[in-house]
């Protein structure tokens, strides 16, 4: 009997019937499914659109007659066995909600090999043989390590930072960009009224995309990013030039972690003899309803991840390149932040 099941499974795979049809055939014969339970977790900083991915995963799995187990609080929750079944009904109305219904964490315990081995044991005990990890670069590194330990894993980029070179967009980036632009628009109203200059600090960790795309969208005139940092004197000379051209209210967008903001503000005030204010946008940037773009992207990536697992893939990350959904080996994605020279060149033309 066992031999027959194995033969049947091999035939199903060879005929590319893995997935819905394959499971149905096995189901009819009363045989264990090819892939029964998929685990899903969100990890690292939350990002708008993570819920839309969870919905897509559960809905797609249900479409293919598979079960999804939601793992709460990221890798840490996995280590603590916080696992429950996610039904399609539970995820019916979550696509428009910010944050993550599964909650998330940064786990030190999972950084250690011993922690990861414990995680594998817990997954096996729960009968979870496939896992979808939604998170940023660190989370996808963790996913890769689980794959190396024998778990079938697919990663989905979910981070507001957009700091993963293998994909043009990570889920959450578009929503956050829109939030940044909305906030800057409000700051501009008051800056204009007072002929004031404001330094706006945006998130991004070590990636300047939120600052860069904000400026491209008309949100700010001077930007300083980890990829193209400006020293304080260059910021002052750019501001001086703009003021001599008659522009008295100016926005300077900087990526977090680059400056002591109080020092930067004081330096500009003293050097140019103007009044400067600083606004750190902070966690406002991470919350809020996901944009339509993020929701559609999330749906696309969530369904793709389920189908990849059904087709026997593991150790893959789903991404989007030139408007096409792609997948790439997790081991090959962490090459750092994408080169955005073309975008910086575009910006130069918009600011002159
Ligand atoms: N090199 C790594 N090996 C294993 N797990 C990792 C690694 N880097 C990060 N992780 C796990 O992923 C979690 C989230 O990573 P972090 O970098 O904080 O956020 P993000 O994934 O959103 O970029 C970490 O707290 C840790 O549990
Ligand atoms: O939530 P924390 O731990 O304060 O971390 C703040 C960091 O998280 C982010 O908001 C998102 O980063 P990740 O997606 O890599 O977790 C960064 O922009 C920021 O530097
Ligand atoms: Mg990150």
Question: Could you please report the per-residue DSSP string of 234-293?
Answer: HHHHHHHHHHHTT---EEEEEETTS--HHHHHHHHHHHHT--EEEEE-GGGGT-SPPPHH
44 lines ligand 2 (CB under 6 A): yes
Q: Is the Cβ atom of 45 under 6 angstroms away from ligand 2?
A: yes
State which ligand 1 atom lies nearest to the alpha carbon of 158. 22
pLDDT in tens, 28-38: 554 444 568 99
Please report which residue ranges of 164-260 form alpha helices under DSSP H. 173-194, 209-216, 232-244
Q: Tell which residue, 212, 165, 209, has the closest CA to residue 326.
A: 165
How close is the Cα of 259 to the center of ligand 1, in Å? 25
CB atoms within 10 A of CB 85: 11
pLDDT score for 146: 98
Count Cα neighbours of 82 within 13 Å in the Cβ-side half-sphere.
Answer: 16
Ligand 1 mean position to 114 CA, how many Å? 15
- Give the Å distance between the CA of 164 and the centre of ligand 3: 8
Strands, E assignment, the chain: 37-42, 67-71, 83-86, 128-135, 152-157, 197-202, 222-224, 250-255, 276-280, 316-321, 324-329
What are the tokens at 211? 């600052």
Q: Give, using CA atoms, the residue closest to atom 9 of ligand 2.
A: 45
Residues with C-beta less than 6 Å from any ligand 1 atom: 43-45, 75, 106-107, 110-111, 135-139, 141-142, 145, 159
Instruction: Find residue 241's DSSP bridge partners.
Output: none
Q: Counting runs of H as helices and runs of E as strands, what totals does the chain give? A: 13, 11
Residue 18 has what pLDDT?
45
pLDDT at 16: 46
- Check if the beta carbon of residue 49 is closer than 8 Å to that of residue 78: no
Q: What residues are labeled active site? A: 161
pLDDT at 27: 53
- For 345, counting Cβ atoms within 10 Å of its Cβ (0-12 exposed, 13-18 middle, 19+ buried), the class is exposed
Atom 2 of ligand 2, nearest CA residue = 45
What is the pLDDT, as a whole number, of residue 38? 98
How many residues are present in the chain? 352
Q: Whose CA is nearest to atom 8 of ligand 1?
A: 138
d(CA 122, CA 126): 6
Q: For the chain, which domains are there?
A: 34-171+291-338 (3.40.50.450), 174-287 (3.40.50.460)
Assigned token pair, 108: 């030190």
d(CA 137, CA 1): 44
From ligand 2's centre to the CA of 225, what distance in Å? 16
Determine which residue's CA is closest to atom 24 belonging to ligand 1: 106
Token digits of residue 97 = 């909600």
Residues in binding site for ADP: 55-59, 188, 219-221, 247-249
* Chain centroid to CA 67: 24
What pLDDT tens digit does each residue of the chain (352 aa) get? Answer: 333 444 454 455 444 444 445 555 555 554 444 568 999 999 999 999 999 999 999 999 999 999 999 999 999 999 999 999 999 999 999 999 999 999 999 999 999 999 999 999 999 999 999 999 999 999 999 999 999 999 999 999 999 999 999 999 999 999 999 999 999 999 999 999 999 999 999 999 999 999 999 999 999 999 999 999 999 999 999 999 999 999 999 999 999 999 999 999 999 999 999 999 999 999 999 999 999 999 999 999 999 999 999 999 999 999 999 999 999 999 998 667 889 999 999 999 998 7
Q: Is 286 in the pocket of ligand 2 (CB under 6 A)?
A: yes
Q: Work out which ligand 2 atom sits closest to the CA atom of 205.
A: 20
Residue with tokens 């990350």, as numbered in its chain: 317
Candidates 177, 191, 351; CA nearest to 281 is 177
State which ligand 1 atom lies nearest to the alpha carbon of 140: 21
What residues have CB less than 8 Å from 150, skipping those under 6 apart?
A: 120
Helix (H, G, I), strand (E, B) or coil at 129: strand
Residue 4 neighbours by CB under 8 Å, 6+ apart: none
Report CA(135)–ligand 1 centroid distance (Å).
Answer: 8
Pair 8, 25: CB distance under 8 Å: yes
- Residue whose CA lies nearest to ligand 1 atom number 17: 138
CA-to-CA distance for 242 and 231, rounded, in angstroms? Answer: 17
Instruction: Return the ligand number nearest the Cα of 160.
Output: 2
The minimum-distance atom of ligand 2 relative to the CA of 45 is 16
161 lines ligand 2 (CB under 6 A): yes
Chain segment 255-292, per-residue pLDDT in tens: 999 999 999 999 999 999 999 999 999 999 999 999 99
d(Cα 48, Cα 159) in Å, to the nearest integer?
Answer: 8
């Amino acid at each position: 009997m066992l031999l027959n099941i194995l033969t049947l499974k091999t035939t199903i795979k060879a005929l590319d019937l893995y997935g819905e049809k394959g499971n149905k055939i096995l189901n009819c014969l009363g045989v264990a499914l090819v892939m029964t339970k998929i685990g899903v977790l969100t990890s690292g900083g939350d990002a708008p659109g993570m819920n839309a991915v969870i919905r897509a995963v559960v809905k797609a799995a249900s479409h293919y007659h598979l079960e999804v187990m939601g793992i709460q609080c990221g890798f840490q929750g996995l280590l603590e066995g916080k696992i429950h079944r996610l039904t399609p009904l539970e995820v019916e109305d979550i696509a428009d909600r910010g944050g993550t219904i599964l909650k998330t964490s940064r786990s030190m315990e999972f950084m250690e090999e011993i922690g990861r081995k414990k995680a594998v044991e817990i997954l096996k005990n729960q009968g979870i043989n496939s896992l979808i990890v939604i998170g940023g670069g660190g989370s996808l590194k963790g996913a890769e390590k689980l794959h190396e330990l024998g778990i079938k894993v697919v990663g989905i980029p979910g981070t507001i930072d957009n700091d993963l070179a293998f994909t043009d967009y990570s889920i959450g980036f578009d929503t956050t960009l829109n939030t940044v632009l909305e906030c800057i628009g409000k700051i501009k109203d008051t800056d204009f009224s007072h002929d004031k200059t404001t330094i706006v600090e945006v998130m991004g960790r070590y990636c300047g995309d939120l600052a860069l795309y904000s400026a491209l969208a008309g949100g700010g005139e001077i930007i300083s990013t980890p990829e193209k940092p400006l020293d304080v004197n260059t910021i002052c000379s750019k501001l001086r030039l703009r003021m001599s051209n008659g522009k008295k209210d100016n926005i300077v967008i900087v990526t977090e972690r680059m400056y002591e903001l109080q020092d930067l503000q004081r330096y500009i005030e003293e050097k140019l003899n103007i009044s400067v204010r600083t606004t750190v946008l902070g966690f406002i940037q991470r919350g809020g309803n996901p944009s339509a773009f993020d929701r559609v992207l999330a749906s696309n990536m969530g369904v793709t991840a389920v189908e990849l697992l059904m087709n026997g893939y593991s150790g893959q990350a789903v991404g989007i390149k030139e408007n096409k959904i792609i997948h790439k080996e997790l081991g090959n994605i962490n090459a750092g932040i994408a080169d955005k020279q073309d975008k910086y060149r575009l910006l130069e033309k918009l600011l002159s």
